[in-house]
Amino acid sequence: MVNRYRIHCLLLLFLAFLSLCICNCTGNSVHKGDEKTVTSSMSEQDKKSGADHKSIHMPETGRVGTEALEAGKAKIPRGDFSKGKRIVIDKTKRKLFLYSGNRLLRSYPIVLGRDPSTDKERQGDGCTPEGRFYICTKNPKSKFYLSLGISYPNKEDAVRGLKEGIISRHEYDAIVYAIDHKRQPPWNTRLGGAICIHGGGTGWDWTLGCIALENKDVRDLFRLVPLGTPVVIIRSPQHLAVLRN
């Protein structure tokens, strides 16, 4: 009886151990299968959207939603995210230059609005603005491939608009507040807005005031440029000297 009891106990222990091994193997197999499914789904989604997720760059500190940034409701995180990077757009040369400090990193051909040689003054004039701005939005779903929003109108534009009766005092205050807090200024006043660096091609001056690049170039720029990067738009090197002063 004793021997039978011992054999019975050993058999139960062996069956319990075998059952545990089978469960562990099954669990590992399911987990690996889930990983493959997720990876495959992401890959298929990327293929359908045509998006290169590696080219989408947002500041790591103080992350905020893209939708909120596009709507101007979210504040650009404080700190030197530009790391010395700046954009200079030469309207006469039809070139966009990306610098890091005084070192030239990139140079891209561009096209402008239908009235490329005049400074923007109001909505619908087809002019590309001139002056000092910063990148205030990044839109990975732009109808022109990718876009980087420019903080037009700036304070100087707001002062001129108020003086000439183009905008109200309330609109002036809203623009100044947005610029002071490094946000997207209002784009719905009679000064105009939604001036962006975007794709779409460089065949001729076809935009409504924006700066257009080839899609491959704006993809490269979008990857390199963070929110808050300074932007200077000039007509000539002499104009840049004036802006520096």
Reading across the β-sheet that carries 103-109, which strands appear in turn?
103-109, 95-100, 85-90, 230-234, 131-139, 147-150, 196-198, 211-212
pTM, two decimals, is 0.65
Write down the pLDDT at residue 157: 96
**Residue 56 three-state SS:** coil
Which residues have a Cβ under 8 Å from the Cβ of 48 and sit 6 or more positions away? none
Q: What is the CATH class of 64-244? A: mainly beta
Number of residues that make up the chain = 245
Query: What SS3 state is found at 144?
Result: coil
User: Where along the chain do its domains lie?
Assistant: 2-50, 64-244
pLDDT at 60: 27
> Quick one: which of 57, 74, 56 has its CA closest to 182?
74
Note the pLDDT of residue 196: 97
Number of Cβ atoms within 10 Å of the Cβ of 184: 22
Alpha helix (H) residue ranges in the chain = 2-49, 66-70, 155-163, 169-180, 215-224, 237-244
Per-residue pLDDT tens, the chain, 245 aa: give them. Answer: 545 555 655 666 665 555 544 444 433 333 333 223 222 322 333 333 333 323 333 232 223 333 333 333 334 434 343 458 999 999 999 999 999 988 999 999 999 999 988 999 999 999 999 999 999 999 999 999 999 999 999 999 999 999 999 999 999 999 999 999 999 999 999 999 999 999 999 999 999 999 999 999 999 999 999 999 999 999 876 555 545 54
Which of these, 98, 92, 42, lies nearest to 224 by C-alpha position? 98
